[in-house]
Structure 1
Amino acid sequence: MNNSGSTALGVLAGATIGAVLGILFAPDKGSVTRQRISDEAESQKAKMASSASELRDRVVATVSAEKHTLEDRVESIVSDVSYKADDVITTLEAKLKDLKDKNKKLQKS
């Protein structure tokens, strides 16, 4: 996404510079040239605003998708930890039972 945004910005900047240079070297009156530069600047401004809006929409969509992916991963991890905690508790309970049995035997001796 970063490369496509940089590429789009580079293309727009190149187009703007090319248009301005073309206008400056055209054999027109100063007022006509200034008007053409102003019109071209407005056109490029609109294109950049559109590109920025599209980029923002893509970023929002990507962040939203990644948020769902992250939530799924966290839920999976919590579930796995819960099962592992249950396994540890079961094992500890079995060990405790064994220790109690051994303690009873030792106390009878």
Structure 2
Amino acid sequence: MIHKGAIVLGVLIGAAAGVLLAPEKGSITRDTLKKEGKDIKNQLSSDLVEVKDDISKAATSGKEKLKEEFKDLASKTSYKTEQAITFLEKQLAILKEKNKTLQQTS
């Protein structure tokens, strides 16, 4: 995929070469340069708007993906937390039984 900056640079080089090599009066050359400058400015502005839109779309997409990944992480964390609680409950039950045994023997 060709980068837009390379296209703009090519246009600039081509326009400059065409103007400099053309056998025209200075006033015509200046007018041509002004016109080319305006055209390039307009193209750059258009390209910047397009890039801004692309970045905005990527940011929105990234935000949605981040939300999705956060939900997955929260779900996995919740599942692991549930496993840890179950393990601790079993250990507490064992400790309670041991404690009852100690209470009965004393």
TM-score, normalised with respect to structure 2: 0.91
Pairing 1:30–2:31 present = no
Q: List alignment gaps of at least 5 residues for structure 2.
A: none
User: Which aligned segments of 4 or more residues in structure 1 are displaced greater than 3 angstroms?
Assistant: none
Pairing 1:47–2:13 present = no
Distance 1:19 1:28 in 2: 14
Matches for 1:50-61 after TM superposition, within 5 Å = 50-61=46-57
* Secondary structure, counterpart of 1:16 in structure 2: helix
Residue 107 of structure 1: how far off its partner (Å) = 2.3
Aligned equivalent of 1:101: 97
Distance 1:81 1:53 in 2: 41
Distance 1:23 1:39 in 2: 11
Residue 38 of structure 1: how far off its partner (Å) = 0.5
Of 61, 66, 72 in structure 2, the residue corresponding to residue 65 of structure 1 is: 61
Q: List alignment gaps of at least 5 residues for structure 1.
A: none
Matched to 2:29, the amino acid is T
User: RMSD between aligned alpha carbons?
Assistant: 1.3
Distance 2:5 2:42 in 1: 13
Residue 13 of structure 1: how far off its partner (Å) = 1.2
TM-score, normalised with respect to structure 1: 0.89
Pairing 1:13–2:9 present = yes
